[in-house]
Amino acid sequence: MIDVKNLSVQYAGNSTEALSNINLTLNKGDFVCVLGKSGAGKSTFIRCINGLQIPTSGEVCLDGKVCLDPDYVSGAKAEKLRKVRREMGMIFQHFNLIPRLSVLQNVLTGTFGYRSSFKNLIGWFSQEELELAKKVIAEVGLSEMSGRRVENLSGGQKQRVGIARALVQQPRVLLGDEPVASLDPGTSNHIFTLLKEMHERLGLLTIINVHDIDLAKRYATRIIALRNGELIFDGPPEQFTEEEYYATYGSKSENSFFGAGI
């Protein structure tokens, strides 16, 4: 579904590449967890999929057609990128909800890509759009909160709003940039369970950055590991052993996870 070809990113004023020459094919149904130390390029990688980060060289293709290369900054290509983004829902570490708006209002902003600017501006939504928003809010378990302002919610609830906003796009791809890094372990588990459930029900391609190897091994169907911007592992979670862990993080794992064989 998504082909990443020779993808490299170099930030201005940095001598080393944040991502160097990544080649990958990601398929519908993959639940991909991206592992790596801070600064390994995980975030850059995810942000390259929907063009929040424009690559320095290489390209990303969706269904065999190029959807991102270094020229997708402005003009007709930027407009093409905008249309591609509508098919990719994204959730963030800091949730990135719009403050002072309610849960329902935040979720409705997920439909913005498909609607005219005028309708967005005056806030006119069709019955189907409202029904869809209510449906996804129910799916993430926030029906009773839909009128509340998002800043009054807990971290876990905020991320549920983030997920609902992504789902209302009716995406084919779901991206997560450290979606549970600011949540406690229990809540992280709930969020991952919800993500996996949606992933399976909607037949998505899900790509998530995560620090917690425990979560990655439990939920992923495929693990990708990056180190210093280079792809060093790509395979099923069973093959990500202590050795790969050491290669990825440069230290021994602290938990007894590998021995336990979950």
Partner 1 sequence: MVWFKKSNIVTVVILLIFIYLSMRLTEFDLTKFKDFRNMIDFLSQWFPMDFSLLPEMVQDTLETLAMAFLGSVLGLVIALPISFLAARNTAPSRALFQITRVGLSFVRSIPEIVFGLILLTTLGLGPFPAVIAIMFHNIGVFGKLISELIEAADPGPQEAMKAVGAKKWVAYLFSIMPQIWPNVLSQFFYRFEVAIRTSLILGFIGGGGIGQRLFNDFKTFQYSSVSLDVLIIMVMVIIIDFLASYVRNRII
Residues that bind partner 1 (CB under 8 A): 50, 52, 82-86, 88-90, 92, 94-101, 109-114, 117, 120-121, 162, 165-166, 169, 175
Measured from the CB atom, the residue of 98 and 138 that comes closer to partner 1 is: 98
Nearest distance in Å: CB 90, partner 1: 4
Measured from the CB atom, the residue of 81 and 225 that comes closer to partner 1 is: 81
Measured from the CB atom, the residue of 87 and 244 that comes closer to partner 1 is: 87
Measured from the CB atom, the residue of 157 and 169 that comes closer to partner 1 is: 169
Q: Cα–Cα distance between 206 and 199 in angstroms, integer?
A: 7
Measured from the CB atom, the residue of 45 and 92 that comes closer to partner 1 is: 92
Nearest distance in Å: CB 237, partner 1: 27
**Do 222 and 30 form a contact (C-beta atoms < 8 A)?**
yes
- Total residue length of the chain: 262
Measured from the CB atom, the residue of 26 and 213 that comes closer to partner 1 is: 26
Nearest distance in Å: CB 138, partner 1: 20
Nearest distance in Å: CB 49, partner 1: 10
In 3D space, the residue among 113, 112, 9 whose CA is nearest the CA of residue 60 turns out to be 9
Beta bridge partners of 7: 22
Residue linked to tokens 């084919």: 172
Nearest distance in Å: CB 261, partner 1: 37
Measured from the CB atom, the residue of 174 and 216 that comes closer to partner 1 is: 174
Nearest distance in Å: CB 18, partner 1: 17
Nearest distance in Å: CB 178, partner 1: 12
